Amino acid sequence: MEEKEEHMPKKVLKTPLSNKETEISERTDTNILAIESSCDETACAIVKNGREVLSNVVASQIKTHMQFGGVVPEVAAREHLEAVNEVIAKAFEEAKVEPEDISAIAATVGPGLVGSLLVGMNAAKTLSLVFDKPFIGINHLNAHVCANYIDTDLKPPFVALLVSGGHTQIIKVSGYSDSEILGETIDDAAGEAFDKVARLLGLPYPGGPNLDKMADGGNPQAYKFTKAKTDEFDFSFSGLKTAVLQLVKKLSKEDANYNKADVAASFREHITEILAEKTLKAAKKYGIKQIVLAGGVAANSEIRRKIKAFQDKGYKVYIPAMKYCTDNAAMIGSCAYFQENVITDVGVEVFSRA
């Protein structure tokens, strides 16, 4: 296949424990079974040739963490353990493939909650050993960007705006395994800012999507916030959070029934404007005509609108389907197919979130 010839340069991988070389046949399709367990979603997917999702199973822990108002790492790890076998079984069932049809097993190795990551990695490594298939360790952030390869014909170069719960970055992607971070947040991530402001407005976890809904009913011009001064492509959102806190304190003192939707809409307008503005600036500076959006906050209706509008300026815009924005395993399977530096051992760094 043309895709594989071009983008899957390493056709021989080593399984982690047997150290036996396994050939990924050039004639057959490459089906990758992928597991994601970095935070509060236990997910398993089977992805064909990096772009076609044969199955995509996600077990969310939202109900559990709702009672705590946020993700409790120890609880999350235990829930992953309970769910992981079931999501793997379902992924095989939905894809209608057998283990012998799988070319490699991938799992997120970081960044994320360490206890949670270990559950998915262990499951993947066990499958890799049992079925004698190569294991591929995947960086969660790269995978978010790769969600844009699913069901599309996207090829680098492109500029990516990656906005998740723990990260906010503008990335210049020059090749499938060649990217450069042009800028990132120096304090809070965009998703973190959404979640914190949602809490200030009394909205339940998960804050981001709830704030998004509330903002739909408000006036985005009701309040103006000051833009933080940062380097060209960097972001800073902690001052914004404090500004909203002060505004909420003032408004609630004047009237306990103040218009929360106006605050939500003004905040959403401000933060999405900064994100979109800097992304466009990066694309212009490097003369890149493709822009992609990625990460959980890519599910936000306003950032989707603003990035999509760049089409009118002559850019080709890619925005993943909602189910591939927030954490899922299909993006892990896609990333495993396209990345060249295949990791076959546990000797990888595991970062803690935020």
Binding residues for ligand KG4 (CB under 6 A) = 39, 164-166, 191, 194-195, 206-209, 212, 295-297, 299-300, 326-327
Residues of the shown chain interacting with Zn ion in the complex, contacts defined by CB under 5 A: 164, 327
Smallest distance, ligand KG4 to C-beta of residue 238, A? 15
CB 174 within 8 A of CB 288: no
Q: Considering beta carbons, is residue 8 or 173 the nearer one to Zn ion?
A: 173
Smallest distance, ligand KG4 to C-beta of residue 302, A? 8
Q: Considering beta carbons, is residue 39 or 261 the nearer one to ligand KG4?
A: 39
Give the separation between CA 118 and CA 219, rounded to whole angstroms.
Answer: 44
Q: Which does residue 206 touch among Zn ion, ligand KG4, none (CB within 5 to 8 A, set by kind)? A: ligand KG4
As a whole number of Å, the end-to-end CA separation of the chain is 40
Q: Considering beta carbons, is residue 156 or 320 the nearer one to ligand KG4?
A: 320
Q: Considering beta carbons, is residue 12 or 62 the nearer one to ligand KG4?
A: 62
Q: Which does residue 191 touch among ligand KG4, Zn ion, none (CB within 5 to 8 A, set by kind)? A: ligand KG4
Q: Considering beta carbons, is residue 24 or 331 the nearer one to ligand KG4?
A: 331
CA nearest neighbour of 44 among 30, 31, 54, 57: 57
Angle between helices 260-286 and 207-215 (to 10 degrees): 100
Q: Considering beta carbons, is residue 30 or 108 the nearer one to Zn ion?
A: 108
Two tokens, residue 247: 């505004």
**Strands of 104-110's sheet, edge to edge?**
52-60, 41-48, 31-36, 104-110, 135-139
Smallest distance, ligand KG4 to C-beta of residue 336, A? 17
Give the separation between CA 283 and CA 264, rounded to whole angstroms.
Answer: 29
For residue 249, the one-letter residue type is K
Smallest distance, Zn ion to C-beta of residue 140, A? 6
Q: Considering beta carbons, is residue 207 or 333 the nearer one to ligand KG4?
A: 207
Instruction: Give the rounded distance of the alpha carbon of 157 from its chain centre.
Output: 19
Tokens 């014909």 locate to 153
Smallest distance, ligand KG4 to C-beta of residue 351, A? 12
Q: Which does residue 299 touch among ligand KG4, Zn ion, none (CB within 5 to 8 A, set by kind)? A: ligand KG4
Four-CA torsion 178, 184, 187, 188, nearest 10 degrees: -90
Give the separation between CA 207 and CA 336, rounded to whole angstroms.
Answer: 30
CA nearest neighbour of 112 among 84, 147, 82, 71: 71
For residue 75, the one-letter residue type is V
Smallest distance, ligand KG4 to C-beta of residue 77, A? 16
Give the residue at shortest CB distance from ligand KG4: 296
Q: Considering beta carbons, is residue 139 or 266 the nearer one to Zn ion?
A: 139
Give the separation between CA 76 and CA 79, rounded to whole angstroms.
Answer: 5
Smallest distance, ligand KG4 to C-beta of residue 140, A? 6
Smallest distance, ligand KG4 to C-beta of residue 8, A? 26
CA nearest neighbour of 333 among 53, 29, 88: 53
